[in-house]
């Protein structure tokens, strides 16, 4: 049975983007962090995105700049299977991407019921909130960044039910980031 995981960076005050969708505060470039992200990108999972995150990722990872700056991560991002959930996109042209035009929860239920690979959601707060509301996320990997931005969007806008989580792992990085891994109860 496939698992659904979220991997997102948040500010200390709980936002994953500022009000304009910017998350440049989350981009760190140091050896320990780069090694972690390169190792994390080696999985055989399906990457899942909402439209905004997909457009941002598809605009960067296939670029020469990404290949030069982050060769291992770029290669993995471009090779892995990807889903983009969008009612407004007409096509998804990034390598190995399948467009899902409706019912993200229904599509994820089908994938979870199969023997396929795990699904990892990157960014995509609207998708995270929808799937959290439906009880479809198994694990949340949250990188807390040592920055306060005052206002923005949370990953859980629109979630109206209580979601109990259990802390199963934590890791501190020299750059001040802290990875907290929670399993849904």
The pLDDT tens digits of the residues spanning 68-83 come to 988 888 999 999 999 9
Contact between residue 78 and residue 95 where contact means Cβ atoms under 8 Å apart: yes
DSSP track, 117-183: --EEEES-HHHHHHHHHTT---EEEEEEES---SS-B-TTTT--S---EEEEEEEE-TTS-EEEEEE
Hey, what domains does the chain have and what are their CATH numbers?
4-184 (3.40.430.10)
The chain-wide mean pLDDT, for the chain, equals 92
pLDDT band per the 50, 70, 90 thresholds, residue 29:
confident
Across residues 158-176, what is the average pLDDT?
Answer: 95
**Residue 155 region by backbone torsions, left for phi larger than 0, else alpha for psi between -120 and 50, else beta:** alpha
pLDDT value of residue 118: 93
DSSP letter for 17, please.
Answer: B
**Is a pLDDT exceeding 90 seen at residue 146?**
yes
Quick check: 34 pLDDT over 80? no
Residue 52 CB neighbour total at 10 angstroms: 16
Taking the CA of residue 119 as centre, how many other CA atoms within 13 Å lie in the half-sphere pointing to its CB? 28
| pLDDT of res. 30 | 78
pLDDT of residue 28: 75
3-class SS of residue 15? coil
Per-residue pLDDT at 42 exceeds 80: no
Q: 10 Å Cβ neighbour count for 59? A: 11
């Amino acid at each position: 049975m496939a698992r659904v995981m979220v991997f997102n960076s948040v500010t200390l005050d709980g936002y994953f983007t500022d009000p304009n969708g910017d998350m440049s505060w989350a981009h760190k470039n140091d050896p320990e962090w780069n090694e972690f992200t390169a190792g994390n990108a080696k999985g055989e999972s399906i990457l899942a995105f909402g439209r905004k995150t997909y457009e941002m990722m598809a605009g960067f990872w296939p670029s020469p700049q990404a290949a030069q700056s982050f060769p291992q991560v770029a290669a993995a991002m471009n090779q892995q299977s990807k889903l983009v959930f969008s009612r407004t996109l007409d096509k998804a042209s990034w390598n190995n991407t399948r467009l899902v035009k409706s019912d993200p929860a229904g599509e994820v239920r089908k994938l979870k019921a199969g023997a396929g690979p795990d699904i990892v959601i990157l960014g995509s707060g609207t998708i995270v909130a929808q799937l959290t509301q439906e009880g479809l996320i198994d694990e949340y990997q949250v990188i807390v960044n040592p920055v306060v931005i005052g206002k923005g969007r949370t990953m859980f806008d629109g979630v109206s039910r209580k979601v109990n989580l259990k802390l199963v792992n934590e890791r501190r990085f020299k750059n001040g980031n802290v990875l907290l891994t929670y399993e849904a109860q």
